[in-house]
Every structure is written in C-alpha cells, then in structure tokens.
Amino acid sequence: MYLHELTIQQAKKGLEIKDFSSVDLVNAMLDRIEKLDGDIGAYISVDADGARKAALEADQRISNKEHLLLKDECSSNNNKTDRKINALCYPLLGIPVALKDLLCTRGLKTTCASKILENFVPQYDATVVSMLKNAGAVIIGKTNLDEFAMGSSTENSGFHITRNPWNRDYVPGGSSGGSAAAVSAQMCTAALGTDTGGSIRQPASHCGVVGIKPTYGRVSRYGLVSYASSLDQIGPITRDVTDAAIMLNVICGHDPLDSTSANVEVPDFTAALTQFETDSLKGMRAGIPKEFLSLKGLDPDVEQAFNNAKKTLEKLGVEMVEVSLPQTDYAVAAYYVIAPSEASSNLARFDGVRYGLRDTEANDLIDMYKKTKSKGFGAEVQRRIITGTYALSAGYYDAYYGRATKVRAMIRDDFTRAFESCDIIISPVAPTPAFKIGENIDDPLTMYLTDIFTLSTNMAGLPGISVPCGFSSKELPIGLQIMANRFDEMAIIRAGYGLEHTLGIKQKFPDI
C-alpha cells in the first residue's frame, strides 16, 4: 500500500512503529498534489514549506514519545472539551490535513475562493484550525470551493473549477468540492469542509467519501468566514467512517469565542464503532420520509442504491418505519430566502474599506463600494446578495424573511415528531449522481434543487452523514444520507459504520 492511500488510523499505526516518518507521508501527498492537482484543481494554495516544517516537528515528538503522554488520562477522558489532555494525546500527530479555504489560518491566505479576498492573510487561526494543530495535524493546504460557499458544484470559484476525480468531465459537488476531491484523489489524508445546506454531504456523495455535518453548535464557528450564520457548520471529510469519528473527537467542544457554540458534553465518537461491532444495529429504527421518495426527478441509479442500502441496514437489524416531513415542499424556498438574507448581511463587510480588494479608480465613497463589489464578487454571490437584500428590505421583511423563519420552525417541528418513532432518518444525499461540468451552471433553480434532501437538516440544526452506498451506471459514486436528532452523532456514526463495514465500498477509490 502506498503512503497516500493510508487512512488516519493506518497512518497513525505506521508512524508509531516507525515504518515511515511524517515527512515521508507529507512528501508523498505533496508529490501526489504536484502530479494530479493541475488537472483536478482541488487546492487553491499548498503550504509545502509549512507542512514539511510541521512534519519534522511531529517526527521529533514521535521520537520523544510525546504522543504517549497522559495516555491513561486520554483513554479515560470522556469529556472532549478538555483540550489540554487531548492536545497531549496528539490523535492526529503527523497526519496531513487540508482545510476548506473558508477557515482563517494565521499567516496563510484565506481567500474564500473570491477575488475580493484574493490576497487576504488572517492574523489568527480559526478555533478548529487551532484544535487540529494542537492534535498534531499537519496543515498541507487550502482547498477550492464555490465562492463564499455559495454553490453546489465548485464551478463558482473565483479562481478555477474543481473536477471530480472519478471522471474529470463531472463536478465534484459543492461547495466543499475541493476538500472532497482532495480526499477522494488521495491528495490529503482528511479534510475539513463546511455545510450550510449540504455542502459537506453532497460533495462527499459525489466523490465517494464520507462527510459529516455535525449538530449546529457542536463545532465552533469562530474563524469561519460566514455565509449564513444560523446554518453554517464545520465538519470532516474522510476516507471512511472511523476517520470521521477521529476527526470529530478533535474538533468538537464548547468554545467561549463563539456565541453559538453549545456547552454540552462531547462523547468519544469512536465508541460508536465498538458499539456496532458488539451489537450490530439491532434495536435501531430508521425513518423513511415519504415526501422525499415521492419527489419528481429522482434518478433511477440513486433510487436503486438507496434501496440496496436500506436492505443492507435491515439485514443488520434496523427496523424501517415510514415518517412524514410535510414541510418538505417549502424547504428549498424558505432556505433560499434565509441563506441569501444572512449572506447579504455577512458580506456587507467586504466593502473595500478595512481589508480585501479596493477599487482605486472610484470617484467617491459610494462609487468605490459599487466598483469594489462588482469587481470582487462573482455572479452567483451577487445574485444571492441581491436576493437577500431584497428579502430584508423595508416593506418586504415580514413577507419573505419573517415568513421563511416560520417555515423553518415548522420544519424543525416535523423532525421532532418524526424522531418520536425512529432513531435515525435515511434518504438519498442528492437526487442525481454528479452532473457534467457546465450542465446546470446557467440554470440556478435546477442547481438549487440538488440540495433538496440535505438542506432541511441545516434548517433544523441536525447532524447528518453521507456514506458511500453504490455507483451509477456511469461509475459515479452515490451516497446514503443518515440523519439523527440533535447532538446524536453517535447514532449516525454507528449506522454509517455498519453500512460501510457491510458494503465494503470504502475500499474503492478512483483509478487516477
């Protein structure tokens, strides 16, 4: 097995027994990036010097056996908010990790894939970045995305498109398409993405990897450049469910720097894997939303993969029950009022005054605002800002944003009732497999509808996972979405691990 093929747990074992060094592992990834990324376009920037320096430090720590410090305390510590103990455990020591270029990194450009922030270098790390570094991770680079996370295909980047490693004519999904493509093409061991309406789960599905959107508030958003503050959540994209659980153990926990961070105890997510191995999935009930599978436009390959996954879960002991989410028909409309409205507010700060692009040919302040934003923001970002500004404007606020928030509350109530009769809810991740580059770029409505199965989870603040469950007739990956009640990531990890363990699809990667 080549070094670039290793999962987190495999790499950790090899590093500990010194089969190879972190420098070897990082160099293997950098070589892979150099060979492949000119074609795939997963990265915006690669920090080769910084990664090699961090890898040398990791190797020194391994030589000094620092990763074994307080080992007993680490294994017995169930409250992962104790960061000092977790840092000493170094659960990601020497592991190369990529970051969606929406997360602030001290001394390293954070562009949000936008011309308006093309040369912006933050003075601090996002909380999740600090947590990764404290855990020993090596930050290898920043990945491409739809500009300011506004898109479902990574075609809306201000710099370049990202291609699906399984077939370079197809999109990788979005907005975290760069992170998903980098993990799928084995150009990093794991990555972080963000999910506002499906932006971790949908690209994970299209690229044949695992992606988790945690419960809103489970992971600190401090240092995340916000798209829609009440919907955004940071989560891992990995090669398998075990790696996703390891990453969650590192990045979850209360953060006083984020007012939306939940002060709740965080379990050891890897315990869900042991629970499956002990009890399989016996006693678990899975809800199937009747509204989801009755929607028009569901691709036959997606439907078949979903049915096969459902049968697999049933064989593992899961009881299937029908549930109803009656507000499904209104979810997309409500989402595309709330998210653009919050984007309009959040992106108002990029006006050329404090940081980022400033047009130098303007005649006055208002002209500078207009020209800076016209040159700095791409077409999709401008479309959503205009939509959101209109929805928030005087005389229209109650009719649009106010009404959309009421629909959101009804969606949340739908899920609350549904979870009275089940432990998890399953559905396809997207109505179709990955589509061809350029196929939907001029049809915003069709593009928006690709999130029909995922965005309700964000509206309700629930956790969700995408796990590979099959392939289309064109050999493009298809994922199963598993959702659970608030702060019950253990349920989706256990069920996702059971599906992955039984299907064996995690062993399949694109032939590049």
For the annotated catalytic residues, the residue numbers are 100, 175, 199
A 10 A CB-CB count for 398 gives 9
Closest CA to 240 of 280, 190, 276: 190
**Helix-then-strand count for the chain, H and E:** 19, 11
Q: What are phi and psi of 88, to 5 degrees?
A: -70, -25
What is the distance between the alpha carbons of residues 476 and 92, in angstroms, rounded to a whole number?
30
Give the list of residues 6+ apart from residue 198 with CB closer than 8 angstroms, or none.
152, 213, 429, 430, 450, 451, 453, 454, 455, 457, 458
Residue 417 one-letter amino acid:
R
Helix or strand or coil: residue 359?
coil
Closest CA to 117 of 43, 44, 173: 44
The DSSP secondary structure of 58-74, one letter per residue, reads HHHHHHTTGGGTTHHHH
What is the distance between the alpha carbons of residues 338 and 332, in angstroms, rounded to a whole number?
10
Closest CA to 124 of 106, 99, 102: 106
CB-CB contact of 78 with 249 (8 Å): no
Q: Is the peptide bond before 230 cis (omega within 30 degrees of 0)?
A: no
What is the distance between the alpha carbons of residues 57 and 164, in angstroms, rounded to a whole number?
34
Q: What is the CA radius of gyration of the chain?
A: 22
Q: What's the helix, strand, coil split of the chain in %, to 5?
A: 45, 15, 40
Q: What are phi and psi of 55, to 5 degrees?
A: -65, -40
Give the list of residues 6+ apart from residue 450 with CB closer than 8 angstroms, or none.
152, 198, 202, 430, 431, 432, 435, 440
Q: What are phi and psi of 477, to 5 degrees?
A: -65, 155
What is the distance between the alpha carbons of residues 427 and 413, in angstroms, rounded to a whole number?
19
What is the distance between the alpha carbons of residues 283 and 245, in angstroms, rounded to a whole number?
22
Closest CA to 195 of 210, 184, 211, 207: 211
